[in-house]
Amino acid sequence: MRALTVVPRRADTATLTDLPDPTPGDGELLVEGVTLGICGTDKEIIQGGYGWAPSGSERLVLGHESLGRVRHAPPGSDFAAGDLVVGVVRRPDPVPCGACARGEFDMCRSGRYTERGIKERDGYGSELWTVETEYAVRLDPSLEHVGVLMEPTSVVAKAWEQVDKVGARSWYDPKTVLVTGAGPIGLLAALLGAQRGLDVHVLDRVTDGPKPEAVTTLGATYHSGPVTEVAEKIQPDVVIEATGVGQVVLDVINGTAAYGIVCLTGVSSGGRTIPVDAGATNRDLVLENDVVIGSVNANLRHYTAAAHALATADRDWFDRLITRRVPLSRFGDALTPRRDDIKVVLTLD
């Protein structure tokens, strides 16, 4: 079978490799890959800035945004051939740490977690893959076209859960959310905000293309002006930050309403410095009881929430987020950004 592989930490090593078909172990599904989503993390791995190969191997099979169809399920499992499934990305610290021991591997304290397609485990970027039944999530068959958005939706479902948990420390009745960045994570965060009945605002640099329309279709407001001005005007109770750009991060931290919650989801690369008035930022956070939280990955509870969000939202809206479907053999095209890209996916079947 063909697999998209890289040598982690070495730029431009992505290639299609012929690998033996995988044999499912006890309690594992054998899955035919249908679609694979490409995200910023994959690009960073390809550029040599992130990623770890499995122990004893030079190359890593890329891909963590999966969608596949079960070819073989262990007898007595909850799965059957033909089921549409998504594989969970993270596996717990094997020791495990306290969070991992409680199924909250997304909050791993030791850093010894592993991740399919990212950290020490081969990913889902191959024509066939295996997955443990307890880390496979079944999707409604009607989601074949958009189910590849399940993983990023799970990341956003976790972010919203974190916001709610922080909000619950006191009386909490958010009305307005600002989402910075109208990529897949930002738009999915906006969708979940709209599903909660909030007044949703999304800010991005572009002024045309598919992003503004994806936002307005949700009944949300699209902005492309300076972050400080938009924040000043709308006074957000919640910000979901999905650009990872240092200046945007600082501007939203300083721009919430009192008792504001900023949830950071963008994984940025380091190396750029900007001047910060740390005293003013501290003063703003303290005097307003503001909170800034980081949020990464997702556990099974968040996958369930994501499956619900996918099942209940308008399919056409999700479909619009997938702006290009590229066959695996032309993976290079998928990795070359185009102006109107939102989510680019590889087709594996």
- Note the residues at the interface with ligand BGC (CB under 6 A): 39, 41, 64, 89-90, 115, 118, 151, 155, 267, 296-297
Q: Of 41 and 180, which has the nearer Cβ to ligand BGC?
A: 41
Q: How far is the CB of 267 from ligand BGC (least distance, A)?
A: 6
Q: What is the chain's Cα-based Rg?
A: 20
Q: What is the C-alpha separation between 69 and 29, in angstroms, rounded? A: 10
Q: Of 150 and 177, which has the nearer Cβ to ligand BGC?
A: 150
Q: Of 73 and 85, which has the nearer Cβ to ligand BGC?
A: 85
Q: How far is the CB of 99 from ligand BGC (least distance, A)?
A: 14
Q: How far is the CB of 275 from ligand BGC (least distance, A)?
A: 28
Q: What is the C-alpha separation between 228 and 158, in angstroms, rounded? A: 26
With a CB cutoff of 8 Å and minimum separation 6, the contacts of 146 are 310, 315, 318, 319, 321, 322
Token output for 245: 């750009």
Question: What pairs with residue 2 in β-bridges?
Answer: 18
Q: How far is the CB of 182 from ligand BGC (least distance, A)?
A: 17
Q: Of 258 and 267, which has the nearer Cβ to ligand BGC?
A: 267
- What dihedral angle (degrees, nearest 10) is formed by the CA atoms of 309, 315, 316, 318? 40
Q: Of 24 and 123, which has the nearer Cβ to ligand BGC?
A: 123
Q: How far is the CB of 238 from ligand BGC (least distance, A)?
A: 21
Q: How far is the CB of 309 from ligand BGC (least distance, A)?
A: 16
Q: How many of the other CB atoms lie within 10 Å of CB of 48?
A: 15
Question: What pairs with residue 137 in β-bridges?
Answer: 86
Question: Which of 291, 282, 224, 226 is CA-nearest to residue 257?
Answer: 291
Please name the helix (run of DSSP H) or strand (run of DSSP E) that holds residue 31, with its range, or none.
strand 28-38
Q: How far is the CB of 65 from ligand BGC (least distance, A)?
A: 7
Q: φ, ψ for residue 59 (rounded to 5)?
A: -105, 155
Q: Of 120 and 251, which has the nearer Cβ to ligand BGC?
A: 120
- What dihedral angle (degrees, nearest 10) is formed by the CA atoms of 164, 168, 174, 180? -40
Q: Of 93 and 237, which has the nearer Cβ to ligand BGC?
A: 93
Q: Are 104 and 119 in contact (CB under 8 A)?
A: no
Burial call 97-115: b when 16+ CB within 10 Å, e when fewer: bebbeeebbbbbeeeebbb
Q: Of 89 and 239, which has the nearer Cβ to ligand BGC?
A: 89
Q: Of 115 and 290, which has the nearer Cβ to ligand BGC?
A: 115
Q: How far is the CB of 147 from ligand BGC (least distance, A)?
A: 15
Asked whether the CA dihedral 87, 263, 215, 342 is positive or negative, the reply is negative
Q: How far is the CB of 250 from ligand BGC (least distance, A)?
A: 22
